[in-house]
Structure 1
Amino acid sequence: MSTQIPLAAPADDAAVAPVSGPSAHAVHAPSVHMPSVHMRAAITWLAIFPLVAIGMTILAPLTESWHPALRALVLTLVVVPTAVYLVVPKLLAGYGSLKRRQARKATAKA
């Protein structure tokens, strides 16, 4: 099995180095453990729910007469980028920090 790992932004094929063998990914990939899909869903929900609740509260008086689809459009135009670019990355970083701290405590006890 052979995979290619980009060394930089490839301008041509010369910037891609072939890597093969069973440990090809283990050698070059950092030891970052992504949370499970269930944990990522919970973290995303923790980001989205308060943003939607706050956004609805702020927009309600301004958009009373608007069609519900237009209200949803305006709300999601604000909430989705805020969640994706600001809130979810901070929550994932906090989760990762918590898991690393727990792992250090577990190895210290062992």
Structure 2
Amino acid sequence: MTAPDPTNVPGSPTKHQLALMIWLAVFPTLTLLNLALGDWLRTLTPVVRTFVLASIAVPIVIYGLMPQLHRARRHLLTRRAGSRRVA
């Protein structure tokens, strides 16, 4: 098994990449939570409803979705850099 090439590892995402990744994680999460909990949330005040949604969505996004999106970004950039080097 070969070690990963350190020159091929992408750096941190740019501000714009990170904004897109966060949007891709947050929007579907909030949409699904609203669909799943809509009837129950409807009875709550807007502040409590927002608190409940944020309390559920933030851990899902931070611990579940963002690591997957970072891996996908790294895979895409590493693959793209590898295909450029071969060409």
Same fold per superposition (TM over 0.5): yes
Identify the TM-score tier after normalising by the shorter chain.
Answer: 0.7 to 0.9
2:81 is aligned, of 90, 100, 103, to: 103
Shift of 1:100: 0.2
Give every structure 1 segment of 4 or more consecutive aligned residues whose post-TM-superposition deviation is greater than 4 Å: none
Q: Which has the higher helix share?
A: 2
Structure with higher Rg: it is 1
Q: What is the aligned length?
A: 79
- Measure the CA separation in 1 of the matches of 2:14 and 2:36: 33
The 5 Å alignment of 1:49-64 reads 49-64=27-42
The 5 Å alignment of 1:25-44 reads 32-44=10-22
SS at structure 2 position matched to 1:66 = coil
TM-score, length-scaled by structure 2 = 0.85
Q: Percent identity?
A: 27
TM-score, length-scaled by structure 1 = 0.68
> Does the CA-based 8 Å contact 2:30-2:53 persist in structure 1?
yes
What do you get for the CA RMSD once the two structures are aligned?
1.1
The 5 Å alignment of 1:1-110 reads 32-109=10-87
- Measure the CA separation in 2 of the matches of 1:44 and 1:54: 16
Say which structure, 1 or 2, has more relative contact order (CA 8 Å, 6+ apart): 2
- Measure the CA separation in 1 of the matches of 2:85 and 2:11: 17
SS at structure 2 position matched to 1:35 = coil
Q: Which has the higher strand share?
A: 1
